[in-house]
Each structure stands twice: as C-alpha cells, then as structure tokens.
Structure 1
Amino acid sequence: MSANALPVPVTKAGEDGLAALLADPGKALVALDFDGTLAPIVADPELARAHPEALGALVALAPKVAAIAVITGRPAEVAVRNGGFADAPGLEHLVVLGHYGAERWDARSGEVTAPDPHPGVDAVRAELPGLLEGSGTWVEDKGRAVAVHTRRAADPQAAFEALREPLTGLATRHGLIVEPGRMVLELRPPGMDKGVALAGFAREIGAGSVLYGGDDLGDLPAYSAVDTLRTSGTPGLLVCSGSDEVTELRERADVVVDGPEGVVGLLRALADFIG
C-alpha cells in the first residue's frame, strides 16, 4: 500500500466492511492490537513503544469515527504509557482495553477500571522460577498475568515448544489458561479474550462497522468476533500487521500491511479519505 492510499481488500466481506466504514465513519469502531500492530516487536517488551507516527495517525482519525479501541494483553496503564495516549489532545474517543479486556482506560476520564486479581496468578508466579531454571527464558510480570518470553533463548522456537506442555499444566492447576503468541506463552485468567472484549465494546457503542487490526495468535478471537458481527449484519474489515512468524492472521485477513508502519499508513489513509 503506497503512502496515504486506501487498501484494496482481497475478500468481498472486506470490501463491504471498508465501504461501510467510509460511508458512515461516525458509526465506525477502529480497534487495534498494540505490540506488533501499533508498536514494533522488540526483544525486551519493557522497551516497546508505539511507532513514532502512530499517535499522530490516531489523533487524525479519532475525531472522525465513533471510537478507537486499543485491545491488548498488556496492563491498560502500560499500553497508555508506551503509546503516549494520556497526553495527546484529540483522543477523547480512545479506549484502551488491557489484559484482553479485563481492564479499561478511558481517555475522557484518564482512569483505569479493573476487577480483583485472580489468585492463581500469584501461585504461578511463585512456581515459575523452578520450572524455567536454565531455559534461557525471561518472565514478564503483567500484574494480572505472567508471560514467559523465549525470544532470548539459544533456540527460541525449541524453547517455546518445550515449555508449552509444562506451562499449560501449571496454568491448569491454578485455574489459568495459556495464551501463546510470538515467542511468548502467557498464563492468565480465563473468561476474557480480545474477541469478547471487541464484541462487547462494539455492542456498547452501537458500532455500525468494525475494523480490527492485529498481528498475533491472541488476535484470532477478535478476528472471529468480526466474522460473527458480519453474519449478524455489522460489516467488518480484518487487517493483518504482517508477520512471517504468524501466518494464521495473514491467511484470514482482508488486508495485509507491512507491520506497524503499514498500520500507520492505513490509519492516515482513512483519515485523509474521510476528510
């Protein structure tokens, strides 16, 4: 996709979704993952920051649509900080749904709302060091979840595969689930995923169309939610922030862009076209 040019969806459903968004942007929900979609993937998640032009693109588009939602596995306040959302004027329509929707930050209030933490997270946190000893992995403590990153291991993919079963057993014993991603296995409470979060927020605002952009396995439930919305009469557009590590999204997407830079270009193109 060239600079500020609208994409051409490869499916009829995608064409309908884009057409509906452009025809009535005031009822459109634009929902996006954070890591790998708005922010480049980095070896240390603590250093992840939104693409330098992402905030400007969001500010340009936000007043022209019903809402923009950032749906992420990170704590909401971390995504807000790493995205620079709290200090940006013009983002009154932005909501960050953190921990797959268990937390919510609203730009209008600047406050985070969240349920009590699941007790299984503390139990898993205590047992992980013994299970991971010598694996070359790194644990990211998300507060309401813990993520085991294998990207720093000598053989990241082998470490990822070797840990799936034991981590799944550990999570199950403590009432949690394992969410696999790009060289990461996250242990978190069940009952909430990006699909549930997206569908719930779309209902809340009465969205007339939905765009969802993501890059990882955790985004597949959101893709499925858009498919469900389509069957019930709400047009949708599925965008993949291209990755060679995860092919499932690319195969299901209506539009594939070149990582966060491509996502920024898409947001700019939408803002320019809507005018």
Structure 2
Amino acid sequence: MGSHPESLPSPTTPAGREGLNAVLARPDRAVIALDFDGTLADIVPDPEQARAHPGAVSALAALAPKVASIAVITGRPADVAVRFGGFAGVPGLEHLVVLGHYGAERWDAVSGAVHAPAPHPGVAAARAGLPGLLRAFGAVHGAWVEDKGRAVAVHTRRAEDPQAAFETLRGPLGELAAEHGLIVEPGRLVLELRPPGMDKGVALTTYVRELDAESVVYAGDDLGDLAAFAAVEKLRDGGPDGVPGLLVCSGSTEVPDLAARADLSVPGPAAVVAFLAALAERL
C-alpha cells in the first residue's frame, strides 16, 4: 500500500470488509487494538532499544478521539510499553489504554497509573533457575535473559544459530516453567516463561465487552497474537451478539500462521502506521 493518507487498503476477506465497514459506520463504538513489538515498533536485536515507529504517536493521536478506545496489548510491562511508545501526556491520546503482560497490567492515559495484581511466585523461582539451565546448554551461546518482572524471557536472536538455539531450549524451558506453575509463550526467537490464564485473546475479549464495543480491529505480528486473532474470530461468529472485526497482520513473512488468518496483511510497522493514519483521515 502507499503511504498517502487517503489510501485505506481493502481487506481481502468478506469478514474483514464487514469489520472495517462497521468501524467506518460507527467509529465511536469501535475498539482499535494493537500489539507493540513488530506492529507499532520495529523488531530490533535488543528489546531495550525498541521504540514506536516515528509516525505512530501522531497517527494514534489523530485516530483516538474518533473511536471508543485504542488499546495496546503487549507482553511487555505496561509502563515499559508506555515509555518506549512515547504514549504518556500526548494530546489526543486520552482514549488510550495499554494492557501489559498480556492483560495482567493496565495503564490508562487518563490517570497515568498502572493497575496490576501481585506477581506469580513461580516467576522468581524460574528466574533463579535460568542461569544454571543456560550454562547446561553451552551450545546455545548468545542466548540471553530479559527480566520482565511478571515474566522472564530467553532470547536467541543473538545466538550463532538463532533458530537452532530456540529449538534446543524450547523443551528444557518448558520443563522449568511447568515445575513452577508457569507456561512458555514462544515468539520470534524468544521463549517467555509467564503465568497461565492470561493471554491477548482474554485481554481483548474482556476489554471489548467492557466497552460494549460494536466493532474491533486487531493488528499483530507474532505467535502470541494468535490468541487475539482467535478472540476476534469468536467475537464475530457470535450470532446476534457478534462483534464485526478486522484482523491485520504486520509483516506477512515471519509468522505464516498469522498471515494465513489475517483479513489484511501489511509489510510491517511503517505500513501499520500508514493504515492507522489513513483510517483516521477517512473517519
């Protein structure tokens, strides 16, 4: 798609077109939900260096006043996503919420506060066990640990053979997670150990129902976004109480499962931002 604001792309599926039309018809009842890394921000070797695409905040600020809410749903801690996104104190973003740790945490622009339950005790136990586990697999040189507070992630992007390191660690990390009552969430060259019971699908469905939204857009790029895609599919299959929805895949080559289920695929964060700007302009 082009970068001109007027070029709002057309979804390739009937369900996607219905979802987009519902947003255009009643934008004040629409929820626009977005993943952060890989969707609003480019994937970078060091997650600490991730920042929202340069045009993201202005596109979101143009769109937010016209819709019921914009929700950023991320595996990151909410305050980290807010900081890396540059979302705090931006005029026009009063309708923004960040659902961090897959929805376990919630930051809203109105109060600027993060609300969250107590951390799962298994995370601290798994964190303590990780250095020994990684030492035992000396072959995965370059794998490193990111402490997310309510979760802990092992990245293999810097390893000599990133995909081989990912496959080597997947089983042992699964055993460590199970031992401490956690689950492993695989992503793009990252394996995250986190508490069960919360995922992006649960977070999205809960938020859409809370706002009594009449339409929903979800954009994501990774395996963790499949739960949100499934939630939108379930919402729009809900008969008389169904909620029309549009599924957008950011970067259609790295996670084929996501691209195959999307109503609209765009080539990464710059194109997601262009889509948001075009939607704001159309509304």
TM-score interval (norm. to shorter): over 0.9
Which amino acid counterpart does residue 213 of structure 2 have in structure 1?
Answer: A
Residue identity over aligned pairs, in percent, reads 71
Supply the distance in 1 between the matched residues of 2:253 and 2:16 (Cα, whole angstroms): 22
2:194 to 188, 192, 197: 188
Structure 2: gaps (5+ residues): none
- CA shift, 1:243, in A, is 4.1
| Deviation per residue, 1:28-75 (Å, 9 max, x gap) | 000000000000000000000000000000000000000000000000
Aligned-partner residue type, residue 209 of structure 2: R
- Superposition pairs for residues 262-273 of structure 1, below 5 Å? 262-273=271-282
2:106 paired with 1:104: yes
Equivalent positions of 1:80-99 (< 5 A) are 80-99=82-101
How many pairs align? 274
Indicate yes or no: 2:146 matched with 1:140.
yes
Residue 260 in structure 1 maps to residue 269 in structure 2: yes
What one-letter code is carried by the residue in structure 1 that aligns with 2:13? T
For residue 211 of structure 1, the aligned residue among 213, 217, 221 is 217
Q: After the TM superposition, which parts of structure 1 deviate over 3 Å for at least 4 consecutive aligned residues?
A: none
Q: Which amino acid aligns with 2:190?
A: V
Q: In structure 1, the residue corresponding to 2:110 is in which secondary structure?
A: coil
Distance in 1 (CA, whole Å) between partners of 2:35 and 2:208 is 15
Partners of 1:252 and 1:106 lie apart in 2 by 30
Note the C-alpha offset of 1:176.
0.1
CA distance in 2, matches of 1:191, 1:178: 12
Moved more, 2-11 or 124-133: 2-11
Output the amino acid matched with 2:159: A
Query: Which position in structure 1 is the counterpart of 2:162?
Result: 156
Cα offset for 1:258? 1.3
Identify unmatched segments of 5+ residues in structure 1.
none
Distance 1:224 1:27 in 2: 21
Structure 2 contact 89–109 (Cα < 8 Å) conserved: no
- Corresponding residue number in structure 1 for 2:11: 9
Cα offset, 1:244, TM superposition: 2.2
